Amino acid sequence: MRSKAEAGLLAWILQRVTAVLLFFALGIHLWVIHFVEPGKAITFESVVSRMQNPLLMSVDLTLLAAAMFHGLNGVRIIALDFGIGSRGLRALTWLLVFSGVVGFLFGVNALWPFLFTSGRPLLEEAWWSLIRS
């Protein structure tokens, strides 16, 4: 990134790109879960079988990544609307980047048991290795 203006422009473009991605990914997510068989109970097993379809799994991962960016960049836009200063904006941006990375990893971690049903969940594994050490 050569300048702040370029970073701002990139954020502006990515907000539009993720908006379009969200439109399709969230549409598919909601359609598959709630409208294909209306009233069908959501169970662990039904989520696992959804995750076994590579296309639907990538839809959910795209949804997670795009929603994280769009939501957190949205917070940045609200701060700009209310006239945040350049130093505050800088601090907020780094905080949001950090939150986004943590949020994405947390989301992948939440999906983990459905992706790998036999293995132990990532968070618990890390937790247990921390306790054991």
Partner 1 sequence: MSGQRSAVARITGTRRTDLWPGNFKLGMWVWFLHRLTGVIILLYLVSHLLVIAFSRSASSFDSLMAFFYRPVILVLELLLLAVIIFHTLNGFRIMLFDLGIGIRWQKALFWGLMGVGALMWAFSAIILLPFVSGA
Minimum CB distance to partner 1 smaller for 59 or for 72:
72
Q: 122 φ, ψ to 5°?
A: -60, -45
Cα 49–chain centre separation: 21
| Cα–Cα distance for residue pair 111/22, rounded to 1 Å | 18
Single residue of 19, 91, 95, 126 touching partner 1 by CB under 8 A:
19
Q: How many residues bind partner 1 (CB under 8 A)?
A: 34
Q: 2 φ, ψ to 5°?
A: -80, -30
- Is residue 34 close enough to count as binding partner 1 by CB under 8 A? yes
Is 37 in a helix, a strand, or coil?
A: coil
| Cα–Cα distance for residue pair 89/23, rounded to 1 Å | 28
- Is residue 67 close enough to count as binding partner 1 by CB under 8 A? yes
- Is residue 100 close enough to count as binding partner 1 by CB under 8 A? no
- Is residue 86 close enough to count as binding partner 1 by CB under 8 A? no
Identify the DSSP state of 120.
P
| Cα–Cα distance for residue pair 13/36, rounded to 1 Å | 33
Minimum CB distance to partner 1 smaller for 44 or for 128:
44
- Is residue 102 close enough to count as binding partner 1 by CB under 8 A? no
- Is residue 118 close enough to count as binding partner 1 by CB under 8 A? no
Contacts with partner 1, residue ranges (CB under 8 A)? 16, 19, 22-23, 26, 30, 34-35, 38-39, 41-45, 47, 67-68, 71-72, 74-75, 78, 81, 103, 106-107, 109-111, 113, 121, 123-124
